[in-house]
Amino acid sequence: MRCTSGRAETFLRDAALPRILLPRCARIKPLRDTPARWNSGTPALKIICFQDDAIYTIKAAVTFSGGTNPTLNKTTSLTVNSLWNPDGFVDRTIARIGGVPTMASDEPNGTGTWRVTGKGTLTRVVPTSATINVIPTSQFYNKTVQHEQTHVQQWIAGAGHLLGDLYVVNDFYNQIVNLTGTSQSDLLNKLGTALTAYVNSQGAIVQSRHNQGEHEAYAVSDPIAPQYVYQNCGQF
Ligand SMILES: [Zn+2]
């Protein structure tokens, strides 16, 4: 008895299909008209988003030249995890006010009251790039890049950008311009306290806009093929 033909059908038709050991005459034959359903949970039935493991059904048939039951049919499953988690990110923790304002004492020798005299080197520091974990050859790469780029653009200063009104030098300066200290170090301590309070307040606003930010980013990336992974799916 020898193997004369073989056939395996699977719902998976991606190049990432792992090698499956079959008799030498058997070949993997993906179902052509079945759309790829990466990490979609239950293929062909229902889309479940953000499931780490996607389970695909594999049906194999191997035919032998003799015997009472010359064709062997087997069904098994293949579990694939194609998720990068996270697929990419924009590090919002770098957002801050950098630099120091100019300060001066009322007395030239520094013994007088210390005041803030100007904006000095105060600058708005926000994310300007994204980290992409998905490899460039992945089918999910462009989708991820476009999503994260939307988050980067949200940080651009000014109207029309979700976070463009945060970490603004003028806003922080208005909060410190009237601070005074009995010495430069006393004033610096007060500036440090004010900076912490300001940055915390801005961070809380960033957090409060998280869902809106994701909603915007998924609106950009969701239409980009392939579907069924990294989709909003009503989350935001
Ligand atoms: Zn996002």
> What does the pLDDT read at residue 153?
98
Torsion-angle region of 230 (φ positive above 0: left; ψ -120 to 50: alpha; else: beta):
left
Say how many CA atoms lie within 13 Å of 223 toward its Cβ. Answer: 3
Report how far residue 146's alpha carbon sits from residue 152's, in angstroms, rounded to the nearest whole number: 10
What does pTM read for this prediction?
0.73
pLDDT in tens, the chain (236 residues): 565 666 655 444 343 444 444 444 444 443 333 444 444 443 333 334 445 566 666 777 777 777 777 777 877 777 766 677 788 999 999 999 999 999 999 999 999 999 999 999 999 999 999 999 998 988 889 999 999 999 999 999 999 999 999 999 999 999 999 999 999 999 999 999 999 999 999 999 999 999 999 999 999 998 998 776 677 777 78
The single-letter DSSP state of residue 71 is E
User: Do 95 and 206 meet the contact criterion of CB atoms below 8 Å apart?
Assistant: yes
The single-letter DSSP state of residue 30 is E
Report how far ligand 1's centroid is from the alpha carbon of 185 (Å).
41
Domain residue ranges of the chain, discontinuous segments joined by +: 3-80, 88-221
Report how far ligand 1's centroid is from the alpha carbon of 110 (Å).
50
Report how far ligand 1's centroid is from the alpha carbon of 86 (Å).
10
> What does the pLDDT read at residue 102?
98
How many CB atoms neighbour CB 180 within 10 A?
14
Report how far ligand 1's centroid is from the alpha carbon of 232 (Å).
9
User: Do 122 and 133 meet the contact criterion of CB atoms below 8 Å apart?
Assistant: no
Report how far ligand 1's centroid is from the alpha carbon of 213 (Å).
7
H/E stretch holding 210: helix 210-221
Report how far ligand 1's centroid is from the alpha carbon of 28 (Å).
36
How many CB atoms neighbour CB 232 within 10 A?
14
Report how far ligand 1's centroid is from the alpha carbon of 78 (Å).
29
> What does the pLDDT read at residue 2?
66
Report how far ligand 1's centroid is from the alpha carbon of 92 (Å).
12
Sequence-separated (6 or more) residues with CB below 8 Å from residue 194: 172, 175, 176, 179
Strands 96-98 and 102-105: unpaired
Report how far ligand 1's centroid is from the alpha carbon of 45 (Å).
27
Report how far ligand 1's centroid is from the alpha carbon of 200 (Å).
22
Report how far ligand 1's centroid is from the alpha carbon of 38 (Å).
19
Report how far ligand 1's centroid is from the alpha carbon of 148 (Å).
6
